Structure 1
Amino acid sequence: MIKKLSACTSILIGKAASIDGTIMIGRNEDAKAAWPKRFVVHPRGSVGGRFTSKDTGLVLDLPKDSFKYTATPEWTDRYGLFEEAGINEYHVAMSATESAYTNERVLGFDPLVENGLNEEAMVTVVLPFVKSAKEGVKRLGNLIAKYGTGETNGVLFADDEEAWYFESGAGHYWVAQRIPDDAYAVVGNQLAIEEIDFDDQANFLYHPQIREFVADHHLNPAASGFNFRQIFGTQTRSDAIYSTPRVWYGHQMFSPKAAALETPESQELPFIMKPERKLSIFDAQDYLASHYQGTPYDPIGALGTEEEKHRYRPISLAKTQESHVLQMNRPEGNDIHWLAMGVANQSTFVPFFADITEVPAAYKRGKLPAQLNAAYWIFKHASVLVDSHLHDFLPLLRDVQKEQRIKATEMVEKTDQALALLDPSKRAAYLTRQSTNFAIDVLNAYKQLSLDLIVKMTDYSALNFNTDENL
Structure 2
Amino acid sequence: MTHQLGRSSCTSILIGKSATTDGSVIIGRNEDAKTAWPKHLAFNQHEIIENNFFKSKDNKFELTLPQEKYAYSSTPEWTDKYGIFEEDGINEFHVAMSATESAYANDRVQAADPFNEKSGILEEAMVTVVLPYIKTAREGVERLGKIVQEHGAAEADGILFADKNEAWYMEIGSGHHYVAQRIPDDSYAVVANQLAIEKVNFRDPANFITSPGLQEFVNQNNLWPQNQPFNFRLIFGTHDDSDLTYNTPRIWSGQKLLTPSHEQSPTTFNLPFIQRPDHPIAIQDAQRVLSDHYNGSQYDLSKAKNPARFRPISIATTQESHLLQLRNDDMYHWLAMGIPSQSVYIPFYPQGTKVPTMFKYGKKEFTTNSAYWVFKEASVLVDRNWSKYGSLLTNTQKQTNEQLVKLRYDTDKKLHKLSQQEEKLKLINTANQKLANCAIKNYQQLIAQLITLQTEDSPLKFKIDPNL
For the aligned pair, the TM-score class normalised by the smaller chain equals over 0.9
Q: State how far apart, in whole Å, the 1-side matches of 2:48 and 2:365 are.
A: 29
Instruction: Quote the Cα distance in structure 2 between the aligned partners of 1:2 and 1:364.
Output: 24
Task: Give the conservation status (yes or no) of the 8 Å contact 1:183–1:272.
Answer: yes
Residue aligning to 1:355: 351
Q: Which amino acid is 1:97 matched to?
A: T
Q: Which of 90-99 and 362-371 deviates more?
A: 362-371
- Partners of 2:81 and 2:168 in 1: CA distance: 31
Which amino acid in structure 1 is aligned with residue 365 of structure 2? P
Matches within 5 A, 1:188-199: 188-199=192-203
Distance of aligned partners of 1:325 and 1:195 in 2 relative to their CA distance in 1, 3 Å threshold: same
For the residue of structure 2 that corresponds to 1:459, the secondary structure is helix
Q: Report the equivalent of 2:374.
A: 378
Measure the CA separation in 2 of the matches of 1:6 and 1:412: 32
Q: 1:328 aligns with which of 320, 326, 329?
A: 326
Aligned match of 1:240: 244
Contact 2:121 2:153 in 1 (8 A): yes
Q: CA deviation at 1:466?
A: 2.3
The alignment status of 1:263 with 2:265, answered yes or no, reads: yes
Q: Structure 1 residue 424: deviation in Å?
A: 3.0
Equivalent position amino acid for 2:185 in 1 = D
Structure-1 separation of matches of 2:163 and 2:455: 50
Aligned residue runs from structure 1 range 275-314, under 5 A: 275-301=277-303, 306=306, 309-314=307-312
Amino acid at match of 2:313: I
Gaps of 5+ in 1: none
1:195-234 maps to which residues of 2 (within 5 A)? 195-221=199-225, 223-234=227-238
Please report how far the alpha carbon of residue 116 of structure 1 lies from its aligned counterpart in structure 2 after TM superposition: 0.5
Are the aligned partners of 1:117 and 1:147 in contact in 2 as well (CA < 8 Å)? yes
Aligned to 1:428: 425
For residues 162-217 of structure 1, the C-alpha deviation after alignment (integer angstroms, 9 at most, x for no partner) is 10000000111001000011000000000000111111111100101111101111
Divergent runs of 4+, >4 A: none
**What CA distance in whole angstroms lies between the structure 2 residues aligned with 1:293 and 1:385?**
19
Task: Look up the SS of the partner of 2:47 in the other structure.
Answer: coil
Given that residues 188 and 247 in structure 1 are in contact (C-alpha distance below 8 angstroms), is that contact kept between their aligned partners in structure 2?
A: yes
- CA distance in structure 2 between the partners assigned to 1:58 and 1:296 by the alignment: 45
SS of 2:457's partner is coil
CA contact (8 A) 1:366 1:377 kept: yes
C-alpha separation between the residues in 2 aligned to 1:59 and 1:106?
Answer: 25
- Equivalent position to 2:388, from 381, 387, 392: 392
Which residue is equivalent to 2:32?
A: 30
**Match for 1:111 among 110, 114, 119?**
114
Q: What is the deviation of 1:294?
A: 3.5
Matched, 1:146 2:144: no
Which residue, out of 444, 449, 459, partners 1:447? 444
Alpha-carbon distance in 2 for matches of 1:128, 1:214: 33
Query: In 2, Cα distance between the equivalents of 1:33 and 1:221?
Result: 44
Q: How many residues align?
A: 463
Please name the residue that 1:179 is paired with.
183
Give the secondary structure class of the aligned counterpart of 2:17.
Answer: coil
Q: Residue 43 of structure 2 contacts residue 350 of structure 2 at CA under 8 Å; is this kept in 1?
A: no
1:407 is aligned to 2:406: no
Q: CA RMSD in A?
A: 1.4
Following superposition, the deviation at residue 295 of structure 1 comes to: 2.4
Determine the C-alpha separation between the residues in 2 that align with 1:110 and 1:47: 35
CA–CA separation in structure 2 for the residues paired with 1:193 and 1:33: 30
Match of 1:163?
167
Which whole-Å CA distance do the structure 2 matches of 1:349 and 1:221 have between them?
A: 46
* Cα distance in 1, alignment partners of residues 254 and 80 from structure 2: 34
Q: Which amino acid aligns with 2:43?
A: V
**Structure 2 CA distance for partners of 1:169 and 1:178, relative to 1, 3 Å:** same
Identity %: 48
Q: Counterparts of 1:23 and 1:253 in 2: how far apart (Å)?
A: 19
Partner Cα separation in structure 1 for residue 80 and residue 158 of structure 2:
23
